[in-house]
Structure 1
Amino acid sequence: MLLKILLPLMTATVLITADYVRPPPRKTLHFPLDHKSSSHPQQVHISLAGNKHIRVSWITSDSSSPSLVEYGTSPGKYNFKGHGDATSYSYLLYSSGSIHHTVIGPLEHNTVYYYRCGGQGPEQSFKTPPTEFPITFAVAGDLGQTGWTKSTLDHIKLCEYDVHLLPGDLSYADYIQSGWDTFGELVQPLASARPWMVTQGNHEKENIPFFKDGFESYNARWKMPYEESGSTSNLYYSFEVAGAHVVMLGSYTDYDENSDQYNWLKADLSTLDRKKTPWLLALFHVPWYNSNTAHQGEGDKMMEAMEPLLHAAGVDIIFAGHVHAYERTKRVYNGKSDPCGVVHVTIGDGGNKEGLAHKYKDPSPEWSVFREASFGHGELKIVNSTHAFWSWHRNDDDEPVRSDEVWITSLISSGCDPKDNKEAREVLWSP
């Protein structure tokens, strides 16, 4: 019955530009000095690491602390152990602690595990995602470390989600490396309990010409399953969970037709089994379809290079950040509405210190459906192989107010199978 009531939303075409009056952004959070022992695990977070495996990451100030994770399905009973490795980095006058990464598994799906890092410290727990529908993703980008960030995280905690997707701009440390440490502490309660899958944004660059390459802090701290997906860079990778194949791309690394990222993406998409993964999602930082006046045109070159590939593969939804506001489009391709195109969602509204992007283009493009300059988060519940329910929750009232929602039908079930499309075959499967 619920499906019958909400199905008309899938074809809604009326543009909504909300007139909600946003309060100003809140101040950056302040964190007390940490007096824990040098071997105490801090900034714990987890990520998916291939089929039935989880990567546990944490930091200790003691370089001799072991990269050991003990875990089991009962509190205080650790029947299994995983051993990993540790790295560290220096940045100007800053020296990181030991950054530990340990892959554990194989794990049972949809199961709560209890674990301990480094042989000591408090017991943590996480829940593995399911291997079949339904599955729920929480989505929020451009987080930062403000009071609004905390509101966003508090609201995400209320959502019964399985995996968090973050399309770039995590800590807003912006060269001040201690900002990465405070961000790690801020997100630990959520990031240690559910997998966080992230990609980089412009605030992760932190490059200093002739002295420091970009993304050193990001790559050291937030290791993603790039090797498991055949990628050679932590800046782009893919993973599969339940019936979804998710592609995480880099807006700030080479993406033209001669680049490693482009060639990897083409190879990744050309081998998909859409019976196994009927849903195809993509994330990157800079939006391609954006009617906000902020960051206009910044994604055009990447779109020119990669949009044909993603369209040919039948991507259902693209999530982007960068613009500090929310916007959802119709299915669109090559600048126009297209029933076999992609739904683009800009969700760079996690709560960062730079505030909101208030101004939109007027008149709006015909492909824009809903737009609002507010902080918030999104939830994507993929119900089955044909239908998913997307909702966006404004948090400016300190309550997660559902402001936008729509049922989305998968392209594969809508007669848009790329293998039936000659143009798609030429783009995706040509030499």
Structure 2
Amino acid sequence: MWFIIFLSFFVSFLHHTSTSPVSPNLLPINLLDGFQNYTAISEFRLLNRRKLGACLDPNPYVKIHVNANSKLGNDQMIKVTVSGVLFPSENDWVGIISPSHANVDACPQNFILYEQTGDFSELPLLCHYPVKGQYVSNDAGYLGCNKTECKIRDQKGKCQVKTCSASIMFHMINIRTDIQFVFFRGGFQTPCVLAKSELHKFANPKSPLYGHLSSVDSTGTSMRLTWVSGDKKPQKVQWNGKSRSSNVTTFSQKDMCNSVLPSPAKDFGWHDPGYIHSAVMTGLKPSKHFSYIYGSKMVGWSARTKFKTPPREGSNELKFLAFGDMGKAPRDASVEHYIQPGSVVVTQAMADEISSGNADSIFHIGDISYATGFLVEWDFFLHLISPLASKVSYMTAIGNHERDYVNSGSVYFTPDSGGECGVPYESYFQMPTSAKDKPWYSIEQGSVHFVVMSTEHDWSKNSEQYKWMSKDMASVDRSRTPWLIFTGHRPMYTSCGGVDPTFVLTVEPLLIKNKVDLVLFGHVHNYERTCAVYGNECKAMPKKRGNGVDTYDNNNYTAPVHAIIGMAGFRLDTFPPQAGSWSTSRISKFGYARVHTTKTQLNFEVCSPNFK
């Protein structure tokens, strides 16, 4: 059995958006503590906690116009024009707000509930969720007032009052609830309202959207399809002349976690998720192409999608892509609450791989959407991965940004999930686990047995998860699946620090005992690979082939090779000057892993889009 590692590069483009930190002294002092309950605080993330009012601007000319039908589609670019501006400012911006509750009219009835959280903001942001925002100066001619209109002329026809206008583009997907465009002055720190558009509704808020696949077992003959709709009535998936009704679930604010201080998911970050539909397609054949549609006559049908089943367990060959920490980023010049700048180009690169037939399945090992309590961003993420997850099995592991919250039962007491506590994650990504909030499982594809653990749930020696890992790995038939790959989110080895030594001391012996070949982790946002390592020591070093490829002969097994692959989207981590003694390769670039296995050889390849 040969284990081969090499690198591959291809050219793509840069999509980079960033947010600036907020100065704490600009926050209302009585609300400051509440912001410690979620991560990555930025100016835009705090809009729901700003005192909001009408601008002290006597200008009667200001207007905002939305160049879109009153009924919005599922995916479109929208041109927004502001006009009648007397003095353009670099702090002028347009935001899209959407109801925090599916029933917009119910919002004022909850006024007292918001006051109890210390939020005394005025409408519209009292009850509405800021989805995204964009500075008007993205129109290059705005600050210079290149587009003008005369509002008042004297008797001789000479212009006495001249105003400025500008246009910016927004990308918007169907999030089911009404949206409104608001023209603000004062930036993200001291916003006030200059003008509001009319409400815009989606043409079909019940439309079936964002279908994604996952494996339910190791046979390759059944696949689960999960999608989102605003309709709670069961719908259908149709494939290969067959049909199956969906099971329908959802979750509410009551399901979100909270503490003494309000979490975003429980309070100002909430957005109605609609309904999650799921159905299992059966009677398939492994490693074959099929197609499906989903929906109903009442809400409409999706486009027909061609997909491929993974190879069955024990078969010879498997090709899969793996990564962690991807998230999402806007397709326009907007800022959102939490942006992962590499996610769009990495997703596009993987979509090209799938279109070329280079992947049978995908493994996303934690930190999935980075919604972190701002629930509408799950829709953004599902939309982003549709070109991948609708065509091959998209398997996931839970990470800290899906599960962790104070006093919620997670191993680590950080507020990294923003109060989600794994509920949205397990609703959208239904893996073959034994029960809710036990998100560990194993699955076999081709010549590989995958063990997917949760680093965020109890892994101590007496825990249910530890006993399961021990039993599962001991039961692997290496004549059928000779490769054993172990995955989870938080790493055991990284030169960037932050490793939990108790986790390593507890779980690492299981890896060596069961002769795990390859360990894949995320959490750290770069790529790093170790030697064959155990107990912080190299047990074997790779041999270099003539082409520079690192090679291990696992017929003479010594220890697993660990790889951190958390470089799929989140802002990259830089390496310290001194790397670990066991570190053999380090790359701080966006990308993903491409793995090709047969029963005798495993090729591990790092693919990194080359940004210019």
Please report the TM-score for the alignment, with normalisation by the length of structure 2: 0.57
C-alpha distance in structure 1 between counterparts of 2:307 and 2:580, whole Å:
43
1:52-71 pair list within 5 angstroms? 52-64=221-233, 66-71=234-239
C-alpha distance in structure 1 between counterparts of 2:399 and 2:3, whole Å:
35
Distance 1:9-1:106 versus aligned 2 partners, 3 A rule: closer
Pair member with larger Rg: 2
Match of 1:303 in 2: 504
- Mapped contact 2:246–2:277 kept (Cα < 8 A): yes
Match of 1:423 in 2: none
Deviations 1:368-414 (A, max 9, x none): 111011111110111x212111110121426xxxxxxxxxxxxxxxx
Match of 1:117 in 2: 294
- Mapped contact 2:3–2:601 kept (Cα < 8 A): no
Match of 2:582 in 1: 367
- Mapped contact 1:44–1:192 kept (Cα < 8 A): yes
- 3-state SS of 2:342 partner: helix
C-alpha distance in structure 1 between counterparts of 2:470 and 2:279, whole Å:
30
Asked whether 1:223 is paired with 2:440, we answer: no
Residue in structure 2 matching 1:388, options 570, 594, 602: 602
- Mapped contact 2:173–2:380 kept (Cα < 8 A): no
- 3-state SS of 2:306 partner: strand
Instruction: Note the C-alpha offset of 1:240.
Output: 0.8
C-alpha distance in structure 1 between counterparts of 2:405 and 2:437, whole Å:
17
Distance 1:63-1:391 versus aligned 2 partners, 3 A rule: same
- Mapped contact 2:4–2:602 kept (Cα < 8 A): no
Distance 1:47-1:8 versus aligned 2 partners, 3 A rule: closer
Instruction: Note the C-alpha offset of 1:42.
Output: 1.1
Match of 2:466 in 1: 262
Deviations 1:89-136 (A, max 9, x none): 113343221101111113101111110112322112210122323211
Tell me, which stretches of 5 or more residues in structure 1 are unaligned? Answer: 17-22, 73-78, 399-431
Match of 2:104 in 1: none
- 3-state SS of 1:143 partner: coil
C-alpha distance in structure 1 between counterparts of 2:446 and 2:567, whole Å:
27
Match of 1:402 in 2: none
- 3-state SS of 1:145 partner: coil
Residue correspondences, number: 367
Distance 1:224-1:67 versus aligned 2 partners, 3 A rule: farther
Distance 1:307-1:36 versus aligned 2 partners, 3 A rule: farther
Distance 1:58-1:213 versus aligned 2 partners, 3 A rule: closer
- Aligned partner letter, 1:194: V
Asked whether 1:154 is paired with 2:348, we answer: yes
1:5-404 pair list within 5 angstroms? 25-27=16-18, 31-34=171-174, 35=202, 37-50=204-217, 51=219, 52-64=221-233, 66-72=234-240, 79-91=241-253, 92=266, 93-119=270-296, 120-131=301-312, 132-146=315-329, 147-159=341-353, 160-205=358-403, 207=405, 209=407, 214-227=421-434, 233-292=437-496, 296-339=497-540, 340-352=558-570, 355-362=571-578, 364-382=579-597, 384-397=598-611
Please report the TM-score for the alignment, with normalisation by the length of structure 1: 0.79
C-alpha distance in structure 2 between counterparts of 1:395 and 1:299, whole Å:
31
Deviations 1:231-276 (A, max 9, x none): 6744211111111110111111100001111011112112111111
C-alpha distance in structure 2 between counterparts of 1:319 and 1:257, whole Å:
21
- Mapped contact 1:137–1:163 kept (Cα < 8 A): yes
- 3-state SS of 2:238 partner: strand
- Mapped contact 2:372–2:419 kept (Cα < 8 A): no
Distance 1:71-1:337 versus aligned 2 partners, 3 A rule: same
- Aligned partner letter, 1:71: W
C-alpha distance in structure 2 between counterparts of 1:219 and 1:49, whole Å:
14
C-alpha distance in structure 2 between counterparts of 1:9 and 1:195, whole Å:
25
Task: Give the stretch that moved more between structures: 245-254 or 157-166.
Answer: 157-166
- Aligned partner letter, 1:389: N
Distance 1:58-1:110 versus aligned 2 partners, 3 A rule: same
- Mapped contact 1:291–1:361 kept (Cα < 8 A): no
| Superposed structure 1 runs of 4+ greater than 3 Å apart | 7-10, 23-31, 206-213, 231-234
Task: Give the stretch that moved more between structures: 87-96 or 244-253.
Answer: 87-96
Tell me, which stretches of 5 or more residues in structure 2 are unaligned? Answer: 8-13, 20-131, 133-169, 175-201, 254-265, 330-340, 409-417, 541-557
Task: Give the stretch that moved more between structures: 200-209 or 298-307.
Answer: 200-209
Distance 1:86-1:45 versus aligned 2 partners, 3 A rule: same
Instruction: Note the C-alpha offset of 1:48.
Output: 0.5
**Over the residues paired in the alignment, what is the CA RMSD in angstroms?**
2.6
Instruction: Note the C-alpha offset of 1:288.
Output: 0.6
- 3-state SS of 1:118 partner: strand
Instruction: Note the C-alpha offset of 1:203.
Output: 0.9
Task: Give the stretch that moved more between structures: 53-62 or 154-163.
Answer: 154-163
C-alpha distance in structure 2 between counterparts of 1:175 and 1:239, whole Å:
30
C-alpha distance in structure 1 between counterparts of 2:466 and 2:4, whole Å:
35
Distance 1:9-1:271 versus aligned 2 partners, 3 A rule: closer
- 3-state SS of 1:95 partner: coil
Identity among equivalent pairs (%): 27
Match of 1:19 in 2: none
